[in-house]
């Protein structure tokens, strides 16, 4: 069993919630954040009932509130004693065609998925550098590989986040800090259940188990699951626009 600690943002539902259960089963102490405290408290109670030896700390955090982020992560660091792994996972998706959907919706996606994620990483790095070690894990998406219709802002946010994390990996190369970027395909969560098509979709429990394995192996980058998205992802980059437009 592990005595490591992991902080997961966006832990109230989806892959963040499922990953919390998997890491608790593997002996990790948990720091869980999201905007909805009632869901976090319920999750905390359920996990501690199943795994009474696990420390579970919950904090409300809106990743777009940059000043709040630093204080929340510092509080979790104090409560847990250390943060070995920070999973930057909070995100939203709002679909619609550019120029037809409200501009505010597109900017909200960018503000949460990119700006908020960048702020989380920056706050986490301060803690990692103070304690002398750490592992950053970023939830990107297969949407980072190609701009897709009705998801321009989402694709841009994930592509930007992937590139940002590549730069962070270079910046921390000589430090005791690991960087993992994960690109999930379709995992059965609320964020994508309204889509007409979800090719190669997998259950959230399976997705979380794959996530945990990749995190513990400290892979630099991977799709989730690895197959078939490790083949489909690069293919998306070279397909003609005429084919992408039909998707």
For residue 164, how many other CB atoms are within 10 A of its CB? 17
Of the candidates 28, 51, 154, 211, the residue annotated as catalytic is 154
Q: For residue 225, is the peptide bond before it cis, meaning its omega torsion is within 30 degrees of 0?
A: yes
3-state secondary structure of 127: helix
Up-side HSE of residue 224: CA atoms within 13 Å toward CB?
A: 29
State which fold the 5-244 domain adopts.
Answer: Rossmann fold (3.40.50)
* Active site annotation includes 66: no
Quickly state the pLDDT bin for 191 (edges 50, 70, 90). Answer: confident
Spell out the domain ranges in the chain.
5-244
pLDDT at 67 over 90: no
Model confidence at 29, in pLDDT bands (50, 70, 90)? Answer: very high
With 70 as the cut, is the pLDDT of residue 2 above it? no
Percent of the chain with pLDDT over 70: 98
Residue-wise pLDDT for 79-120, tens only, equals 999 999 999 999 999 999 999 999 999 999 999 999 999 999
CA distances from 159 to 32, 35, 148, 156, 174 (A): 25, 24, 12, 5, 25
CA distance 193 to 154: 16
| H or E element, residue 36 | none
**Does the pLDDT of residue 199 top 70, yes or no?**
yes
φ and ψ of 190, to 5 deg:
-60, -30
């Amino acid at each position: 069993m592990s005595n490591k600690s992991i902080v997961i943002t966006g832990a109230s539902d989806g892959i963040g919630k499922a990953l919390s259960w998997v890491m608790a089963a593997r002996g990790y102490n948990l720091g869980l954040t999201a905007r909805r405290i009632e869901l976090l408290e319920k999750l905390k109670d359920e996990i501690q009932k199943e795994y009474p030896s696990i420390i579970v700390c919950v904090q409300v955090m809106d990743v777009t509130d940059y000043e709040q982020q630093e204080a929340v992560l510092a509080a979790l660091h104090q409560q847990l004693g250390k943060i070995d792994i920070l999973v930057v996972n909070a995100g939203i998706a709002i679909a619609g065609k550019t120029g037809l959907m409200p501009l505010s919706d597109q900017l909200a996606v960018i503000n949460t998925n990119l700006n908020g994620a960048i702020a989380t990483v920056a706050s986490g790095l301060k803690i990692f550098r103070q304690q002398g070690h750490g592992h950053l894990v970023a939830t990107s998406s297969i949407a980072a590989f190609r701009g897709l219709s009705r998801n321009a802002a989402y694709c841009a946010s994930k592509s930007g986040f992937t590139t940002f994390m590549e730069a962070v990996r270079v910046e921390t190369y000589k430090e005791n800090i690991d960087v993992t970027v994960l690109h999930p395909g379709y995992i059965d969560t609320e964020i994508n259940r309204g889509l007409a098509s979800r090719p190669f979709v997998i259950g959230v429990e399976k997705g979380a188990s794959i996530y945990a394995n990749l995190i513990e192996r400290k892979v630099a980058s991977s799709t989730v699951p690895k197959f078939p998205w490790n083949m489909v992802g690069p293919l998306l980059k070279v397909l003609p626009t005429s084919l992408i437009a039909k998707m």
